[in-house]
Chain A
Amino acid sequence: MLAKIEELLEQAKLAIDSATSVEVLYEAKVKFLGKQGSFSHLLKEMGKLTPDDRKTIGKRANEVRDILEGKYAVRENLLKDQELNSQLEAQKIDVTLPGVAPERGVLHPLWRVTKEMCEIFSRLGFSVRTGPHIEKDFYNFDALNIPPDHASRDLQDTFYINDGVDRKPGDFSPWLLRTHTSPVQIRSMLTEKPPLRIVSPGGVYRSDSDMSHAPHFHQVEGLLIDQDVSMADLKGTLGFFAREFFGSEVEVRLRPSYFPFVEPGAELDASCPFCKSKGCGMCKGSGWIELGGCGMVHPLVFKQVEMEYPKWNGFAFGMGVDRMAVVKYGVSHIGLLTENDLRFLGQFRP
């Protein structure tokens, strides 16, 4: 009996060790250890044995079953690992094939700049106002102290809108494309109560296109109306803006200029952020970059909007967004800004 057990052990060991797949291994398990297997048959014959023999043989039989089950488990793990490995091997891919990327678009540099400008002024308490692009001459000119038949209208070459009325040459319709976003400020002065702190971003139009000016471009203008406002406050506000926008080392300067709706009127320059004022192509060697115009709101503007002056007083400024984008990002020519070439737009990330 004992010899039979030992023989069975040897046979089962061989079967387990030689199994090359989980299936074959399982067959071996059934054959030797299953309910109908050789081992079970052998144990059924145990009844015929003497109690003493039964004790020793039974002990050995249990040992052999434990050995085999242990062996089986080890073999099973090994085979399963092998199978998984060969499966994984079969699933091997060319890791150099391109990935499937989520797409992320870009915000146009003009909007990017507009947003950044508005956010900087927002930190000083300015909020955004917008208005129509087709304006009436009152809001674009008259209210801004640019009367009809005055030479100051020549400062801004204006696109007029055909309103269906027959006109002689030199006569223009009262409807026009706004030449600046200042009419938005006029609308605010007419409808809101001072104090006011507003910036008005948006498209503007002028009929003097050349290499550096598109006929449709973009502005951010600002207006502050309060009691006790000074030219020094204007310079401080724009200084803060320029340093936030271009970098802390930038300085601003004001130069006298003329805009009918401000007095004093000034051009705003910032020290060239490209060459640190040493002189380069961007600043045409001057060390200064022109950013826009500004000044103290003209008394006649207060008169036009019927706001009490000099109780209320204020400053206004205007900057070209296209120009700011050109300076900030070193855009080589303004045409790029409206071509919408993805090779260009793709540079403005993240």
Chain B
Amino acid sequence: MKISLKWLGMYGVDVREYMVHPLKLSELLTNAGLEVEAIVDQGQVFQSVITGQILEKNKHPNADALTLCLVSTGESQHRIVCGAKNHNAGDKVVVALPGAVLPGDFAIKVSKIRGEESQGMLCSEKELGLSAESEGIMILPSETTVGIPFAKWAKKDDVILDIKVTPNRADCLSHFGLAREIAGITGKTYEFPIVPFSEGRDSTRKLIKITVEEGELCPRYAGRVIRNVKITASPEWIKNSLESVGLRSINNVVDITNFIMMSIGQPLHAFDLAQLDGAQINVRKSYQGEKFVTLDKQELTLEGTELVICDAKKPVALAGVMGGLQSGVTENTKDLFVESAYFLPSTVRRSSRRHGLESESSYRFSRGVDPDAINLALNKACQLIAELTGGTVCTDSYDIYPRPVVRPRIELDLKFISARLGMVIEGVEAKRLLEKIGCDISGSGARILVNPPAYRSDLKLAEDLGEEILRLKGFSFIPETLPKLSAEPTADDLFFGLEFLMAETLRSFGFNHAVNLNFTDREFEDGFLTAMRGNYKELGIDLDSKSVELQNPLNIRLAVMRRSLIPSLVNNVNHNFRHGVAAGTLFEIAPVFSVKESKDIKEQSRPFTEMTNLAMVIWGESPEAWLKTNLVPPFFKIKGVVEALLREWQFKSVKFETIKENPGFLHPGQSARIVVEGKPIGYLGVLHPGIANKFEVKTPVALAEINFKILMARQPRALRSKVLPKFPTVQRDVALLAPISVSSGEIKDTLVKIAGNLLVRCDLFDLYTGEKLPADKKSLAFRLTYQDSERTLSDDEVNALHQNAVAAVSQKLGLSLR
């Protein structure tokens, strides 16, 4: 909220020092929990800009369109080149001297213009930031004193603070409220000057009838009629005040209500009495479907829940939020009904959100106004309206307040508060501090009774008073101690540690850790994952379900939650590639989200799935490519990493299987699903060239994605040491000629199965296809290692076992020895 220091000075706070040193006030407020976010010193803006008088106006010797003026600024004279045409000798003008910085960072310097030195500038309104357009320079009235700062002349000598007022401090949402707060903190006085006004003979109660149907939602409703007003523009002082805090001037009556809102914090509304049907007001809930047109011409359809101010026929205001168009004050308005009320904060906030209408009024009502200030505000309005519009204030007013708000009575145990704050607070000190902010205290010693003032509705509990005491004493007094350890520390959440351990594993494999936003663009993700649809069911990763969608996304690019980490990682690859990182690796461990498949989403206790995935990408060729011996195809790079990773984590049964219905974003011939202990846990492969093309990926990309939670659920946790085998191993090699269609994995699995327990390793060491073989054949060479943990195997025994196994496998799979 913007606060004008001049305005603040109207309420008995001495602001002279703060005008000169606004940082002092800023620190004072910030340390009291009212953070000052910005300070604008208007005088600073117009530094070195002063009033002057043109003594001589001469033609510029080298340019017909320019004039060379001799200008006095009182004590000194300046030669200034000017391009305007509207000035004459003797005119009072605004002079920006060298050193001045005009709005738009326009720095004034001594400069040569067409060969003549110009020692400053004569300013236009536009150049001074006073209006958007202006013709010629600004000519001041002839009575203007020469040589005074322009800021002072234009009354632009205020200091404006922008204060972040937290939702609990509704009492500080006005100048008077803030003056009261400053007085409280500094222990000085404050006042709200009451100016008397005269009343006419007419009676409000005879001119309008008021009923409050919804006493719960509207605990207090007051109002008064003012007759025969004349709607005009506001006087300058009101205009300036409103402008200084960022409000626009409308007309005298609306400006007065806004002025009072910014003064006292109480929003007011002025109705055109003639427009209130039946000359009555009813405060009720809306009817469902009822229409209401706001001041700013929006037609709302009401829902039957909003609190509305109605006349005999229709709503004339959405209570606390905005008035209606028809009953608003216009230049033809003669008689006013001015409303000053207390609406329940939650009802105003609900209406405001429901209809997307936020106003200075709803902002204050939804934080809670001071129910005790209703009449103060109303009377101030009557006084100002009578004074500035010539209207006559009726002799009586309404004040419907059947159940006055009761100020709480809080028992304060100083021992409790001292223990909570970690420092001793004596009763005397608590009393002194709380009285500064308007609390009434009874009792003394270690237990006192505290009545906070009505405007401090945030003070309800002893704990709240504890904070007040601390705030007024100063948070800097809190000592530093350490909490005593009273129980054994507990273990961390398992997955937190596992994620970091996995990140460290991947880091040791040379992978770099990525963190992406968990939002994505639905079209982008769908376009990536389901461009060429496949069956994703067998992957162990749910890519088929619907995306979790935000109800209120920031923009379309961040509208849904990620289902897979791969599309973002491929984006990262593109970013890197475009920035010259020709080869690299990335991995990410992050949550992925999807909607649970169910006909009725409402039946589910938790309708969303939240998993954690691990994804990896490799792109480009490694820096050793110059050696040529190390050119591993991308598929085997990523597969090697996944194998190493699963080995590192000691998973026993690991298989890579052809995906029957390949997902569209994977190369159909270079992809596999990963199966650990019989459970699919993810996939790996090479990015489909079609997708690479579509998303402008200009480098080969291999990728893998694993369901981290399912995988980790299978991880053997306890490490166990085993006795090493004592007896020697025996190796036998075999080269097999196989049809192309038979996979290496199938041959190996069959060999392992048939050879039995004595076969401890089986490694492929050569693969050949080419000229020496028929086109539909390939040759595979395996090295088989046999070992018995109990004894030494004899050659004959191994030979028999080996030959039997090879023969059986060959027969089964249609292989021949080579």
B493 with A345: CB separation less than 8 A = no
A231 touches B421 (CB 8 A): yes
Interface string of B588-608 (1 = CB under 8 A from A): 001101010000011000011
On whether A310 and B507 interact (CB within 8 A), knowing A127-B492, A160-B551, A237-B482, the answer reads no
Q: Is B479 an interface residue (CB 8 A)?
A: yes
Q: Is B354 a contact of A169 with CB atoms below 8 Å?
A: yes
Q: Which residue of A lies closest to B351 (CB)?
A: A170
Do B558 and A215 have beta carbons less than 8 Å apart?
A: yes
Q: Which residues of B contact A216 (CB under 8 A)?
A: 517-519
Judge whether A159 is part of the interface by a CB distance below 8 angstroms.
yes
Within 8 Å CB of B770, what residues of A?
Answer: none
Asked if residues A207 and B552 are in contact (CB atoms below 8 Å), the reply is yes
Give every chain A residue within 8 A of B464 (Cβ-Cβ): 263
Known contacts A106-B512, A263-B463; is-contact A161 B349 (Cβ 8 Å): no
A128 within 8 A of B: yes
- Chain B residues lying within 8 Å of A122, measured Cβ to Cβ, are 489, 492
Q: Does A211 contact B (CB under 8 A)?
A: no
Name A263's contact: one of B461, B510, B558, B626 (CB within 8 Å).
Answer: B461
The chain B residue with its CB closest to the CB of A256 is B33
- Interface assignment of A246: CB less than 8 Å from any CB of chain B: no
Residues of B within 8 A of A160 (CB): 550-552
Given A106, A159, A232, which contacts B421 in the complex, CB threshold below 8 Å? A232
* Residues A130 and B495 in contact in the complex (CB < 8 Å), given A163-B601, A255-B31, A299-B463: yes
In the complex, chain A residues whose CB is within 8 Å of the CB of B517: 214-216, 338
Q: Which residues of chain B are near A343, meaning CB under 8 Å?
A: 579, 581
Interface membership of B480, Cβ < 8 A: yes
A318 adjacent to chain B (CB < 8 Å): no
Query: Is there a chain A Cβ closer than 8 Å to B332's Cβ?
Result: no
Which of A24-32, A54-62, A64-72, A171-179 forms contacts with chain B? A171-179
How distant is B495 from chain A, measured CB to nearest CB, in Å?
A: 7
For the complex, is B423 an interface residue (Cβ under 8 Å from A)? Answer: yes
Q: How far is the CB of A341 from chain B (nearest CB, A)?
A: 6
Chain A residues with CB under 8 Å of B630's CB are 100
With contact pairs A175-B608, A258-B166 given, residues A340 and B356 touching in the complex (Cβ less than 8 Å): no
- Check if B478 sits within 8 Å of A104, measured CB to CB: no
Residue in B closest to A339 when the chains form the complex, CB atoms = B575
Binding-face segment, A6-14, A83-91, A146-154, A271-279: A146-154
Q: Which residue of B lies closest to A214 (CB)?
A: B517
Q: Are A172 and B551 in contact (CB under 8 A)?
A: yes
Number of A interface residues in the complex (CB < 8 A): 101
B723 interfacial contact with A, CB 8 Å: no
Is the beta-carbon distance between B478 and A162 smaller than 8 angstroms?
no
Give the A-B contact count at a CB cut-off of 8 A: 278
- Cβ-defined contact, B581 with A341, below 8 A: yes
Inside 8 A of B484's CB, which chain A residues have their CB? 226, 228
Q: Bits for B445-483, please: 1 = Cβ < 8 Å to A, else 0.
A: 000000000000000010110110011000110111111
Which residue of chain A is the closest to B601 with respect to CB atoms? A164
Closest to A252 in B: B480
B409 CB, nearest partner CB in chain A, Å: 17
Residues of A within 8 A of B591 (CB): 133, 203
A230 lies within 8 A of B481 (CB):
yes
Shortest Cβ distance from B7 into chain A, in angstroms? 24
Q: Does B531 contact A (CB under 8 A)?
A: no
Among the 9-residue stretches B47-55, B430-438, B498-506, the one with 4 or more Cβ atoms under 8 Å from chain A is B498-506
Report the Cα distance A129→B139, complex, angstroms. 70
> Is B136 close to A, CB under 8 A?
no
Q: Is the CB of B356 within 8 A of A151?
A: no
- Complex interface residues of chain A between 204 and 263 (CB less than 8 A to chain B): 205, 207, 209, 214-216, 224, 226-233, 235-237, 239-240, 252-258, 260, 263
Cβ of A236 and Cβ of B480 under 8 Å apart?
yes
- A95 contacts B by Cβ under 8 Å: no
B508 CB–A CB distance under 8 Å: yes
- B535 on the A face (CB < 8 A): no
A218 to B63, CA, bound (A): 64
Interchain CB contact under 8 A, A106 and B513: yes
Identity of the chain B residue whose Cβ is nearest the Cβ of A104 in the assembled complex: B510
Of A154, A214, A256, A345, the residue contacting B471 (CB under 8 A) is A256
**Which residues of A, 102-127, contact B by the 8 Å Cβ criterion?**
102-108, 110-111, 115, 118, 122, 124-127
Q: Indicate if A3 sits at the interface (CB-CB under 8 A).
A: no
What 1/0 flags go to A157-201 for Cβ under 8 Å of B? 001111111011111110101000000000000001001010001
Q: How far is the CA of A227 from the CA of B602 in the complex (A)?
A: 41
Query: Is the C-beta of A98 less than 8 angstroms from some C-beta in chain B?
Result: yes
23 CB-based A-B contacts, threshold 8 Å: A98-B623, A101-B623, A105-B513, A118-B496, A129-B493, A132-B610, A159-B551, A161-B550, A168-B354, A175-B607, A197-B490, A216-B518, A226-B483, A227-B486, A230-B419, A230-B422, A236-B480, A256-B471, A258-B166, A258-B169, A340-B576, A341-B581, A342-B576
Beyond A258-B167, A264-B467, 10 additional contacts (C-beta under 8 Å) are A161-B548, A207-B552, A215-B517, A240-B482, A254-B475, A257-B35, A341-B576, A341-B579, A342-B512, A343-B581
Query: Which 5 pairs across A and B sit closest by C-beta, in order of nearness?
Result: A103-B510, A232-B422, A230-B422, A256-B33, A258-B166
